[in-house]
Amino acid sequence: MSKRAIRLIATVGSVAAVSALSACSSTSTSALRWDPAPNMSTLGQTHEDFRNSFTVTWNENWRMAGEDMARTFFYDRQSRLSFYPVPR
């Protein structure tokens, strides 16, 4: 065999070996098509980031709702109907 044929066989063999070893054998093509980014919840957040921001938002909304209810029923300040000063 000539040097050119040996070089060609070595190149093709090495390319085939590298492509066989670097293939995604543990993940099927249909799984990749179903969820191409499995650890992302949104375009810029992972599932943990999304859950953290959701928890903070939920907490702040409930605390603000409590403050709104206190203002609605006048629990946020003392009564102004007394003639005497009310200590704080």
**pLDDT tops 90 at residue 85:** no
9 compared with 50, residue with greater pLDDT:
50
Q: SS in 3 state form for the chain?
A: CCHHHHHHHHHHHHHHHHHHHCCCCCCCHHHHHHCCCCCECCCCCEHHHHHHHHHHHHHHHHHHHHHHHHHHCCCCCCCCCCCCCCCC
| Exposed / middle / buried, residue 59 (Cβ in 10 Å: 0-12, 13-18, 19+) | exposed
Does this model's pTM top 0.85? My answer is no
**What pLDDT, on a 0 to 100 scale, did the predictor assign at position 60?**
97
Q: Determine the pLDDT at residue 23.
A: 56
Q: What is the pLDDT of residues 47-64, one digit of tens each?
A: 999 999 999 999 999 999
